Amino acid sequence: MPGGRSWIAILLFTAGCGDRQPPAPPEAPRDDGLHNVLPVGDGLFSGSSPEGDAGFDSLQSHGIRTIISVDGAPPDVAAARARGMRYVHIPVGYGGITRDQAVLLCKAATDLPGPIYVHCHHGKHRGPAACTLIRLARGGWAAADAVAFLKAAGTDPRYEGLYANARDFPTPTEAELRTCPSNFPERVDVGGLAARMVEIDELWDRIRTKPAVTDVVQLIEQYRECARLPDTSKMPFPHAEAAARDLERALRTPDDASWKAAINRSAGLCTKCHHDFRDRPHR
C-alpha cells in the first residue's frame, strides 16, 4: 500500500493497546479512491465514500466485507456486490444521529461480517460519529474516547449534535437490538430537491424567529447537499452556501446590524432562486 502501513498492521496496533488505547493511531491508512481513513479498532474503519473502481478495489484488497454508508447520496451497491462486499445504507444528518438510527447502526455492525468500513461523503463528520456509537456499544470506550476520536477525525465542533451523541450515548439494550429490523437496506431514498427544500424552509422559519448558529450550520450543509443532487448545476446553491457562511460568521459577533444584514442577503438569494426556478411557470 503506498505511503504507509497496511491496514492489518494498524489493526494489530490498535488491538494490542488494550481497551482504553488512544483512538487515533500514529499513522492512518491511505489508498487510491479513499480519503480520511481511520481505524476505530475492533475491525471497524471510518473514511470517505469510495471513489470509483479504485476506491472499491482498495476496500476489497484490505478484506472489507461490509460497507455502511451514512451519507445521503445513493451508494454504488453494484460495485460493492461485484467485489463480494455488502452495502448497508443508513443516512443520517449533521444535526445528530437519532436513537432509531443509532440502534440500527449497532445492530448492523453486530450482525454483519467484518471488517466493516463506515463512510459519509468526506469521512470527517457523520461517518466518524457513527463509528463512535458502534464502538461505544461494543464496550471498551468511554465518552471521552469517543470525543477524542471525533477530534482526531476532524469532525467540526460546530456539529454539536454529533458531539452530543458521542458524549451521551446510552448503549442499546438487548430488547432494542432484538426488536430492531434486521433487513438492513442497501439503498434508502432520502428524497430529492423537494424534500431538501422542505428542510431548508423549516430551518429558515427558525432562523427568522430566533437566529441560532446551530441552525445556520445545518443550513450550510443543506445547501451543500442540494448542490450534489442531479440537475441542480444551474441553481445558485454554492452562492447560497457562501451567504449562509457569512451569516454564521456575523452571528458569532456582537454586532446586531451585521447579522441582520447577513440574514437579509441570504434570504434574498432564496427569494431570487424561488422566483427563477420554482415560482415561475415552466414550459
166-204 pLDDT per residue, tens: 999 999 999 999 999 889 999 887 767 766 776 787 788
Q: How far apart are CA 169 and CA 110, in angstroms?
A: 17
With a CB cutoff of 8 Å and minimum separation 6, the contacts of 90 are 68, 69, 70, 101, 104, 105, 108, 130, 184, 185, 188
**For all residues of the chain together, what is the average pLDDT?**
83
268 CB burial (10 A radius; 0-12, 13-18, 19+)? exposed
Who has greater pLDDT, 101 or 15?
101
User: What is the pLDDT averaged over residues 116-144?
Assistant: 94
> Angle CA(184)–CA(187)–CA(193) in degrees, nearest 5?
135
Residue-level pLDDT at 172: 94
Three cell numbers written together for 13: 496496533
Residue 15 confidence (pLDDT) above 60? no
Q: In what order do the strands lie in the sheet with 38-41?
A: 38-41, 44-47, 116-119, 66-69, 86-89
State percent of the chain over pLDDT 90. Answer: 46
Q: How far apart are CA 228 and CA 62, in angstroms?
A: 29
Q: How far apart are CA 218 and CA 214, in angstroms?
A: 6
Residue-level pLDDT at 212: 87
Q: How far apart are CA 132 and CA 109, in angstroms?
A: 12
33-46 pLDDT per residue, tens: 999 999 999 899 99
